[in-house]
Every structure is written in C-alpha cells, then in structure tokens.
Amino acid sequence: MMTEIPDPFRDDRQNSGVRLFDAGDEAIPMILRHAELRQAAKDWQTYSSDAPFRVPIPSEEHLRSVRQLPIETDPPEHTDYRTLVEPFFLRAKQPAFVARVEEITARLLDEAMGRDTVEVVSEFALPLQSRALTVLLGVAEAEAERFIAWGVHVFHGEHGQQQARELEAYLGAEFDRAEANPGDDFYGVLTKATLQGRPLSREEKLGFANLMFAGGRDTVIHSVATAVGYLAEHPEAFAFLRDDPGRIVHASEEFFRAFMPLTQISRTCPVETEVHGMPVPAGGRVSLCWASANLDETVFEAADEVRLDRRPNPHVSFGFGPHLCLGAAHARTVMKAVLRLLCERVGQMRVVAARDRVEQTASYERPLGYESLEVAFEPPVSPRAERPSLQRPS
C-alpha cells in the first residue's frame, strides 16, 4: 500500500529551500518548504495576489480579459468578495448536494462497468466533474455537455485561446439571462449580490465565473483519475479501503496530498524583497510550490509514500491562509463519492493502458497523473453457492 511519489524538488528543498523557475521573461524563486510556504501564503503584504492575470504560472493575459475573483485580490477587498460567495460554495457539504453527486457518480460508474474498458480521464472523470459542476452552479445537468466539449482544461491545449473566448461569451449570455430574471443559481446569486451597497459590475461577475470554470475543472478531473489509477495499480490499497469504508476520508486527503495536480501559483512582491538569498525586484513574482510543500519530509513521515490512513495530514493542496480554495468542499465531496462507490460496486480494477501526463518546464519535470488511463472495471465476485453434500444411498 505504498509507492514512491515523484519529487523533483527534494534536493533543493532539503539544501536551500528554494529553486529558480525560468518563466522565460522572468526568473521566479520557488518557495519549497512547508512552513515557509504557509508563512508566505498568509503574508499578503509581502507576497500579494493583487496582480490581475499574474497569479497563475504562466500568466494568462492572453487568455482572459477579466481579473479572477476573489483569488486575484488581497484583504480587505478579498475578504469582502469571498464573503459574497462562500455560503454558495459551502452547499457542497449539504446532504442533498452530496446525494446528487453520488447519484451522478453511480450512473457513470454503472456505464463504465457495462463496457469492457473505459478511458478514465475523458470518459469518467471529465463527465463526472462537468456534471457535478452543474450541481454546484445550480443549472440543468444538460449544460454539462457543453463543459465536456471544452475538455479537461478550458484554457490550456491546442484550442485554448478559442475556448477562452467561447467561455467569456457563454458566461456573458448566462449573466444576460440572470439579469433579466435572476434565480437562485450561481449567476442569479451574483446578479442579486451587493458589495458595499452597490451591485457587482459585469466585469466582477465575470471574474467570479471565470475562476469557477478555469480554476476547478482540471484539478478535480486529474485528482479523480489519479486516485482511480492508483487503486487499479495497487489492489492491496483498494482492498484496504473496501475492508473499512471509514478509511475513505483519510484516503481522500492523502490522494490530494500525494498527487497535487497544481504544482505552483505565484504572488507578486510590491517592494523589493529576498527569498533565501535570491533577490526579487519590486513587481517581481515569487512561486508558492504546493507540490514540494506537500512532500516536505520534516512535516510528513515517509513523505514519498502513499499512506491511505495518514493522519494528521496538513497538506496544502487547497492552499493556505486567506486564499484557501473556495472549491475545496466540492472537490472533497466528489472524491469521497468516487471512492465510496468504487468500494461498494467494484470488485477489481485493472489498468489496460496508460499514458503518463508530465509537466515539462525549463526548470523541472514533474509527473502529473495521466493523459489517458484505460481501465477495466469488474463487479464483485458473488459468494459461491454451497454445493449439496454427496452421500451414498443407504
């Protein structure tokens, strides 16, 4: 029930605590250690998120026209924006929400088990998150077909710029609809919301919605696919979960820690600063390397092993500090639904073919799950009926 987790940052984390990331037009120091990353994530005065388009690495000026909210703001503005939508996102913990996600998961799993093999990334994880997203948004499930057509990430890939334009047009039409007749869905909630006594601008509403689609799609999709792949490749781990479904909560958190799909995110320094001896000019960026912090051996025992009963597990896969991920409850609900239903309905999983997904940059190469993962799902074996005893006739 263990495997080594690839860790391209181990040596630099242990030796210096920092690595320089080559972003082409700038060199970005990467904060690698768990404690230092959490400290930086809380220190928004030194490491600011108030940098439109520049929080992601690489930056996204060419992919969108609006600032993503609330992630690309600092307190107190960030706090005000976050307060508007946090109750909406926390609905993902409610029993009715969980039940709907489980129903969608069960339906897709039944379809998978009715076929010889299933490509997990595009035929299970992508439709699952797309359909679960309609539950979160409060819109008809049929809208998921459009989301599925955008692929794993609406921005990245061969048609990223075209899809980014399609997304903004789609969101604009949804807000036109909501402004004409605001309901209780995500678009209606934002349309009816007020900030300091005024309604949100169209740009602000688009900023919230853009993050909803661009920030939470691929992370959940790859987390689900990686968890399925791990359990298919490690039948002893799958048996461990099936023996006691109460282990699913800790297993979910370990999958989020071990296979963090987002390697890093940036902060911008308003004034000149220094990270472990590396100077950062005013306006320069620093990287918070979540993937490295999650493998910090000073925090996690046997950090490079997957331990499905790991606790405590203070991973930073949902961020840390004021910018803790709004979608964390949704991601956890989806992951727990997948693991629970796999344990209940599947007897064995077998990897038929896999193509690794690898993040290749000028500064590191990091495996990130699967580009494709073909799996055969097999039902549980029914207990063999007892044979009647054969007796000699008297």
pLDDT tens digits, 80-130: 999 999 999 999 999 999 999 999 999 999 999 999 999 999 999 999 999
Each residue's pLDDT tens digit, 362-374: 999 999 899 999 9
The token pair at 90 is: 């926390």
Each residue's pLDDT tens digit, 3-23: 589 999 999 999 999 999 999
Q: At what angle do helices 248-258 and 328-345 cross, to 10 degrees?
A: 120
Residue with tokens 């987002």: 262
- At residue 217, the pLDDT reads 87
Each residue's pLDDT tens digit, 127-180: 999 999 999 999 999 999 999 998 888 777 667 788 888 899 999 999 999 999
- At residue 383, the pLDDT reads 52
Q: Which domains does the chain have, with CATH numbers?
A: 10-378 (1.10.630.10)
Decide if pLDDT at 216 tops 90: no
**Count of Cβ atoms closer than 10 Å to residue 62 Cβ:** 11
Mean predicted confidence (pLDDT) in 376-384 = 79
Q: What is the pTM of this model?
A: 0.94
Whole-angstrom distance, CA of residue 331 vs CA of residue 348: 24
- At residue 286, the pLDDT reads 98
Whole-angstrom distance, CA of residue 53 vs CA of residue 59: 6
Mean pLDDT, the chain, integer: 93
Reported as a pLDDT band with limits 50, 70 and 90, residue 389 is very low
Tell me the chain's radius of gyration from C-alpha atoms: 23
Strand partners, 285: 268
